[in-house]
Structure 1
Amino acid sequence: MRLLAYALVIFAILVPQASAQAQPTTEPAQAEAPAQTQGLDALIDIIEADPAGAALLARVRANALAEVERSSADETSDTTIAQQVAEFTRGAAEGVSASVQSVGDVVDDVARGLSGTGSDQLRSVTFDIVRVGATIFGVLLLLKLPAAWLSGKAAHQRDGARWLRKATSLLAAVVIDLIPVILAWAAGYLVAMLIANGGSGRLGINQPLLLNAFLFVELLKVGMRAVLMPRHSAIRILPMGDTSANYWSFWLSRVLSLVGYTFLFVVPILATNVSVVLASSVEVLVVATLTTIGILVVLQNKDQVRALLSAVVDKNRREGLAQIILPLARYWHILAITYLGALFVAWLANPAQALPFIVAATLQTIVAVVVALLAVGFIARFVNAGLRLPSDVKERLPLLERRLHAFVPKVLQTVRIIALAAVLLTAAQAWSLFDFVGWISSEAGQHTAGSIISALAVILIGFAIHVATSSWVEYRLNPNYGTIPTAREKTLLSLFKNAMTITLVVFVSMLALAQIGVNIAPLLAGAGVLGLAIGFGAQKFVQDIITGAFIQLENVMNEGDVVEAGGKSGVVERLTIRSVSIRDLSGTLHLIPFSSVDQVSNSNKDFAYHLAEIRVAYDTDIGVAKQAIEDAYDLLMETEHRDHVLGPLEMHGITAFLESAVVVRARVKTLPGSQWAAGRAFNEFVKQVFDQRGIVIPFPQVTMHTSKSQDPVGSVRNSAVLT
């Protein structure tokens, strides 16, 4: 009744003031005002007789006066940002001060409540709550022992089974864990009905508060144990060890009990039967305890979380995301403790508005981070697993899978950047730092978003065209499908691929810039002027391109040809519009710009000849030597080289007389590039036939002549003449 009277007085003080400011005063209201004022003054006098009531009225009047002053100040002048900050800090300080001052009134209110007329009722309520609490917790404790044994039995029987059996075991364990809670809650309700109001069966508000709090808290604990499974690692969902599961189960169960039983049972009981101030003090004590527990958990897991984040940084050190995670790994515990302290202060200052806002913003940020991590992980797994091309596609396009795999890191990096941007925007929206929803709904936001999406679409289309072009060139150059490409086709297709890539890069870049609002006309004009300047300043470069263009038009050489250009000879490995890459017989690669090429000698054009210039001694019968050479050619045509020979042996006869030999020349016509292999085999057969028929191939020789002569003293001297 005392609390009801206080509420009526506060209502009577505040409501007339608000109505007086909002509505004009009418004549009937003015006629009834003296009677209302007399009744209100009498009620105030009665309440002021009580010291606690007098203190409460003084506090209400002071708050009402301060509110009137604030509202009048707001109506007369516009508040600046500094004034708003000052008002907020003043309100926060007043809230904290009121919470601290209320602690001093708790003892007096409790003492008056216990010594007053309601002490017997309070003892009765307490006794009924104790009986119901003993019933539900006693039944729960008795039923938990067999439930734990049955749950362990179910988990042990399916240890190491497949996911379906594992899910069945998990469901059975959850049901077994849930049954004791339901039975204990039902037993508590039965006892409450039997003892309610002397067995009348009419329940008050106190026992249902305890029963509902018990059901809510224990159901949350069942769900928590279903996720962590601290006693049954075989059916645990999360990938964690037994120590971690038991650790988090210990702390979460105590936090759930503290929060649930306090705010769903203890606080309403105290506010109804003892004192509102005491209930508020208990709330402050519980929130302080929760903050302390959170700080302890953060400090206990400081090193573990730091090691986990450091491992992520080491794994992704080359990416920009690692630079964001690195300071978070070092100082995350400081940020967490600061956040918990700010949350506690905000709750003390304005629990009705600040706390729900902070909690809602935090939950939204956590959900955004979790969703982003899951999306990035799913896309990474999908991309890595989805790039296994069929075997027939690999045979036709052997480089396609490798080309796609080369773009996987870039795609994943783009996905990570998009996910990070989404998380930042969601956090900014949740904490009211940036109204992204309002901005994207506006005309400017839609225009910007459309421009970015259009630019990304242009880049994606350009990438698809590049992959398609490269794949077509690769398929056309594959000798296992279709017609075998010639050297000229290989050269032209390679040049087309390079030119197409450069063209795509230029056009896609220009179109993407145009989509995001960049005026590309000055860029095109600048590119023209820059190209003209480069043309004048880089004459050698222009000469390379012009000479290379004419070489390509005249089809002088292609990839795979054996040429001599710029003083180097070898196989053409790469041919561009500006230079040619030649690898010589020793394996050295020479890059020769076309401006330094005066002439090109191609040994692989249309056909080739093996020119055999064979030396025989002067005393050799030339007809026998020619027949031996023709017989060697016949032996050559019996080997696999006959497929590379294009015509009969051309016998030219004697072409030169040397000091010690006569040169007999013959020529074998072959396919381009086959003259060297066929020529080596032909030389071997010539040597073999010459040896069989005694035909001598001359080589430098030394002939020694000896003579005897007499010197003046009669001695004999040998002399030697070398020829």
Structure 2
Amino acid sequence: MPWMLLLIGLLCAPLHAATIPGMTTATTSTPSTAQTTEPNIEQKKAAYAALADVLENDDSRKELIDQLRKVATTPPQEPVPLITPPEVKEQKTVLENVTEISRYYGDELASRFAQLYRNITGSPHKSFNPQTFTHAATYFLLLAVLVFAFWLLVRTCVSPLYRKMGTWGRKKNRERSNWLQLPAMIIGAFIIDLLLLALTLFIGQLLSASLNAGNRTIAFQQSLFLNAFALIEFFKAILRLVFCPRIPELRPFRIADETARYWHLRLSALSSLIGYGLLVAVPIISNQVNVQFGALANVVIMLCITVWALYLIFHNKKTIQHNLTVLADHSLAFFSLFIRAFALIWHWLASAYFIVLFFFSLFDPGNSLKFMMGATVNSLAILSIAAFISGVLSRWLNKTITLSPQVQRNYPELQKRLNGWLSATLKTARFLVVCATIMLLLNAWGLFDVWQWLTYGAGEKTVDILIRIVLILFFSAVGWTLLASLIENRLASDIHGRPLPSARTRTLLTLFRNALAVVISTITVMIVLSEIGVNIAPLLAGAGALGLAISFGSQTLVKDIITGIFIQFENGMNTGDLVTIGPLTGTVERMSIRSVGVRQDTGAYHIIPWSSITTFANFVRGIGSVVANYDVDRHEDADKANQALKDAVAELMEKEDIRGLIIGEPSFAGLVGLSNTAFTLRVTFTTLPLKQWTVRFALDTMVKKHFDLADVRPPVQTYQVLPAPGSTPHTQPAASAGPQPPVEPTL
């Protein structure tokens, strides 16, 4: 390609011009024998256009960059690798890809129809020998009659056993002693059915060996029949497993007897027509009569089967939808969702199944039925196993773990937390079962290779990531459960009478548990995101920048948190304490990391941020104190008053309910104050926290009683009446002056 050579020349020209100062090369002393011709304008334009095309395409540009980097890193002693412009790959749009795929499959379908037409019209004729055909048909029919007779005989003999198994399983199911008996009997009956089929095939092989008369044609026809019999009866065994028309006790689903017989009869007839028609009749007609007749018989048989199947599907569409809806109403919530979804689209799936079978049988009569039957059996087996596993998981979801009373007392939230983890694990396992079922169904129909996907490429990586995520979540859950349980154990009392921790300890442990939950959750999320391929470096940088911005914008909040933490560590106040914060006095009801809630005796509730608290008083710190001062009239005898006070205190100390609130003995200070009208006596008590008011009220009652008995008077308030300004004291006004206004006294 000339434009590539020109492009290489343009790219390599600067390399020839570059020299290292102080160094000479051998090529400088030797004249060049050949001089490079200067490209003309057209060649330069073509090279530029080619370079633009290379740079425009992502793949070719990346390849060119890799080649340039390789040239740049090549040592001088090694030959410089040749730069070859990468081939420009045309990038197709989605519409072009869809068009190409549609054209490909359309051509394939047209070629198959053309081949079918050639088989019907252009196949070579084959001579038909009626005598040979009749002779082979006689032995064929004889073997078929004997095999069917033996099959019906053995099935009739084991019918009583089936009934006993069904009756016993239903009885155990009604008694609810164990729910596994009935499914075990159903599966056991199916296994017995398969064993009888294997026995019948063995007898059929023996009969075929003795009835083929050494004729290869007869042996071939009989082998066709035995293969078709095995395949069809195996499918009928599955139908009997589902519908079980003769023995309702072994029926796994709630289906009416009439409905079960209806569908069993028609599906059995349909499978017999498909199997014996495609696997027996068509090959015999093709070999014994004519290839064209065989191909035409194949088309006619499959057309009849398809039309009949579509009629059955749409004729019973509403009935089956109604039955599936009723089944969903009586099923678990998890299965109800899938059953309702299947009820909406079941007729389209069934129609697609028979239409695909129709086209497959037209193009490949020998292998299409085997593939479809194999895929169908695999699909039913996959669905059955998945339904069983999902049913077991759903039943386990309804069960809970019950710990011993002692463990529940020591770890109050452990049982709830374990049941929560178990429920989440079972739901996740059930979801994975659904995903695995979908993948296996696609693999059964040849639409997806599960084993290659799991072994190579994305599948192996996906499984590895899932295992890592499961392990991360498992260890995070275990760590959180252990740490939270230890904290809750410290917050609870035990059977040995260990008291509850203090309010300060409860607050600190609760805050630590919440902080621990946030830290573990954040770390777990970050690690999981890293495992699935998300670059968490921008997240961490963004979180740091966001935290810095929040810290500047919420300084008060940060101050509240820090102040609250230090107050908690210093055990300044706890829930239930009586405190005075500024002008407010009340009981602490709530303490968070940002504020404290105080309830006044009036009922008002105040929320006070920690940062606004400069000083506070706590009345519940060790002891309470009562300082009682009593004023007595100045003219009373001080000894008598002091003795009355001591008698009141002595009687108070004799009360058991009050004595238990007082620490130590009371202290009498005697006369501690003197005024013009009274003198003051003082007595002090040390009490339990918050009990000082109870002691003070009782003391006032006793003092009032003994002061009255001793006739100790309280101080009397005196007044002095002074004349009004300008009046003459101690003079009476003249009688002739008439009535005078009253004089206002002055205090």
**Given the two structures, how large is their TM-score scaled by the length of structure 1?**
0.65
Counterpart-to-counterpart distance in 2, 1:196 and 1:436: 44
Report what 1:52 is aligned to. none
From 112, 119, 131, the equivalent of 2:130 is 119
Counterpart-to-counterpart distance in 2, 1:212 and 1:433: 27
From 401, 408, 413, the equivalent of 1:399 is 413
User: Residues 186-201 of structure 1: matches in 2 within 5 Å?
Assistant: none
User: Residues 615-630 of structure 1: matches in 2 within 5 Å?
Assistant: 623-624=643-644, 627-628=647-648, 630=650
Structure 1 residues 670 and 360, CA, compared in 2 at 3 Å: closer, same or farther?
farther
User: How far does the alpha carbon of each residue in 1:294-318 deviate from its partner, in whole angstroms, 9 at most, with x for none?
Assistant: 5434724233335656888x9469x
Structure 1 residues 308 and 202, CA, compared in 2 at 3 Å: closer, same or farther?
closer
From 475, 478, 481, the equivalent of 1:461 is 475
Alpha-carbon offset, residue 237 of structure 1: 4.8
For the pair 1:506 / 2:522, whether they are aligned, the reply is yes
Report what 2:484 is aligned to. 470
SS of corresponding position for 1:160: helix
Report what 2:593 is aligned to. 577
What RMSD in Å do the two structures reach over aligned CA positions?
5.6
Counterpart-to-counterpart distance in 2, 1:212 and 1:363: 16
Structure 1 residues 367 and 675, CA, compared in 2 at 3 Å: closer, same or farther?
farther
Structure 1 residues 605-614 or 269-278, which shifts more?
605-614
Alpha-carbon offset, residue 551 of structure 1: 1.8
From 606, 616, 622, the equivalent of 1:600 is 616
From 302, 307, 320, the equivalent of 2:321 is 302
Report what 2:280 is aligned to. 265
User: Residues 492-531 of structure 1: matches in 2 within 5 Å?
Assistant: 492-531=508-547
Structure 1 residues 306 and 166, CA, compared in 2 at 3 Å: closer, same or farther?
closer
Report what 1:30 is aligned to. none
Counterpart-to-counterpart distance in 2, 1:355 and 1:417: 33
From 341, 348, 365, the equivalent of 1:334 is 348
Q: 1:429 touches 1:435 (CA, 8 Å); kept in 2?
A: yes
Q: 1:630 touches 1:649 (CA, 8 Å); kept in 2?
A: no
Alpha-carbon offset, residue 283 of structure 1: 3.5
User: Residues 482-561 of structure 1: matches in 2 within 5 Å?
Assistant: 484-561=500-577
Counterpart-to-counterpart distance in 2, 1:140 and 1:399: 62
Alpha-carbon offset, residue 471 of structure 1: 0.7
Report what 1:390 is aligned to. 404
Report what 2:75 is aligned to. none
Aligned amino acid, residue 362 of structure 2: L
Alpha-carbon offset, residue 473 of structure 1: 0.7
Alpha-carbon offset, residue 240 of structure 1: 5.7
SS of corresponding position for 1:301: helix
Aligned amino acid, residue 304 of structure 1: N
Give unmatched runs, 5+ long, in structure 1.
1-78, 699-723
Q: 2:361 touches 2:368 (CA, 8 Å); kept in 1?
A: yes
Identity %: 29
SS of corresponding position for 1:646: strand
Alpha-carbon offset, residue 650 of structure 1: 5.5
Structure 1 residues 290 and 535, CA, compared in 2 at 3 Å: closer, same or farther?
same
Q: 2:667 touches 2:683 (CA, 8 Å); kept in 1?
A: yes
Alpha-carbon offset, residue 401 of structure 1: 1.4
Counterpart-to-counterpart distance in 1, 2:277 and 2:185: 34
Report what 1:705 is aligned to. none
For the pair 1:93 / 2:110, whether they are aligned, the reply is yes
Counterpart-to-counterpart distance in 1, 2:617 and 2:369: 85
Structure 1 residues 151 and 644, CA, compared in 2 at 3 Å: closer, same or farther?
same
Alpha-carbon offset, residue 675 of structure 1: 5.8
Aligned amino acid, residue 298 of structure 2: E
Structure 1 residues 141 and 651, CA, compared in 2 at 3 Å: closer, same or farther?
same
User: Residues 605-644 of structure 1: matches in 2 within 5 Å?
Assistant: 605-609=621-625, 623-624=643-644, 627-628=647-648, 630-635=650-655, 637=656, 639=657
Counterpart-to-counterpart distance in 2, 1:528 and 1:175: 65
Counterpart-to-counterpart distance in 1, 2:265 and 2:199: 24
User: How far does the alpha carbon of each residue in 1:113-159 deviate from its partner, in whole angstroms, 9 at most, with x for none?
Assistant: 7xx5x123323333444444445545666776665456546655776
Alpha-carbon offset, residue 397 of structure 1: 0.2
Q: 2:564 touches 2:610 (CA, 8 Å); kept in 1?
A: yes
User: How far does the alpha carbon of each residue in 1:450-475 deviate from its partner, in whole angstroms, 9 at most, with x for none?
Assistant: 45644553343333222221111111
Counterpart-to-counterpart distance in 2, 1:269 and 1:697: 137
Structure 1 residues 370-379 or 296-305, which shifts more?
370-379
Q: 1:628 touches 1:686 (CA, 8 Å); kept in 2?
A: yes
Q: 2:278 touches 2:365 (CA, 8 Å); kept in 1?
A: no
Structure 1 residues 238-247 or 187-196, which shifts more?
187-196
SS of corresponding position for 2:596: strand
Counterpart-to-counterpart distance in 1, 2:200 and 2:279: 18
Counterpart-to-counterpart distance in 2, 1:175 and 1:500: 55
Counterpart-to-counterpart distance in 2, 1:696 and 1:207: 134
Aligned amino acid, residue 267 of structure 1: V
Aligned amino acid, residue 283 of structure 1: N
Alpha-carbon offset, residue 204 of structure 1: 4.1
Aligned amino acid, residue 477 of structure 1: L
Structure 1 residues 554 and 435, CA, compared in 2 at 3 Å: closer, same or farther?
same
SS of corresponding position for 1:557: coil
Structure 1 residues 506-515 or 437-446, which shifts more?
437-446
SS of corresponding position for 1:548: helix
User: Residues 40-55 of structure 1: matches in 2 within 5 Å?
Assistant: none
SS of corresponding position for 1:556: coil
Give unmatched runs, 5+ long, in structure 2.
1-91, 715-747
Aligned amino acid, residue 549 of structure 1: I
Alpha-carbon offset, residue 216 of structure 1: 5.3
Aligned amino acid, residue 358 of structure 2: F
Q: 2:313 touches 2:350 (CA, 8 Å); kept in 1?
A: no
Structure 1 residues 561 and 437, CA, compared in 2 at 3 Å: closer, same or farther?
farther
For the pair 1:160 / 2:171, whether they are aligned, the reply is yes
Counterpart-to-counterpart distance in 1, 2:217 and 2:536: 82
Counterpart-to-counterpart distance in 2, 1:211 and 1:353: 16
Report what 1:12 is aligned to. none
Alpha-carbon offset, residue 236 of structure 1: 4.4
Aligned amino acid, residue 160 of structure 1: K
Aligned amino acid, residue 484 of structure 2: S
Aligned amino acid, residue 283 of structure 2: P
Q: 2:625 touches 2:685 (CA, 8 Å); kept in 1?
A: yes
User: How far does the alpha carbon of each residue in 1:22-42 deviate from its partner, in whole angstroms, 9 at most, with x for none?
Assistant: xxxxxxxxxxxxxxxxxxxxx
From 354, 359, 363, the equivalent of 1:345 is 359
Counterpart-to-counterpart distance in 1, 2:263 and 2:486: 57
Alpha-carbon offset, residue 287 of structure 1: 3.7
Greater share of residues in helix: 1
Q: 2:248 touches 2:257 (CA, 8 Å); kept in 1?
A: yes
Q: 2:170 touches 2:249 (CA, 8 Å); kept in 1?
A: yes
For the pair 1:646 / 2:663, whether they are aligned, the reply is yes
Counterpart-to-counterpart distance in 1, 2:360 and 2:293: 20
SS of corresponding position for 1:647: strand
SS of corresponding position for 1:606: coil
SS of corresponding position for 1:592: strand
Counterpart-to-counterpart distance in 1, 2:545 and 2:191: 79
Structure 1 residues 169 and 341, CA, compared in 2 at 3 Å: closer, same or farther?
closer
Alpha-carbon offset, residue 594 of structure 1: 1.5
Structure 1 residues 333 and 169, CA, compared in 2 at 3 Å: closer, same or farther?
closer
Aligned amino acid, residue 646 of structure 1: I
Structure 1 residues 503 and 562, CA, compared in 2 at 3 Å: closer, same or farther?
farther
Q: 2:139 touches 2:218 (CA, 8 Å); kept in 1?
A: no
Alpha-carbon offset, residue 393 of structure 1: 1.8
Alpha-carbon offset, residue 484 of structure 1: 4.6
Counterpart-to-counterpart distance in 1, 2:513 and 2:701: 46
Counterpart-to-counterpart distance in 2, 1:281 and 1:93: 18
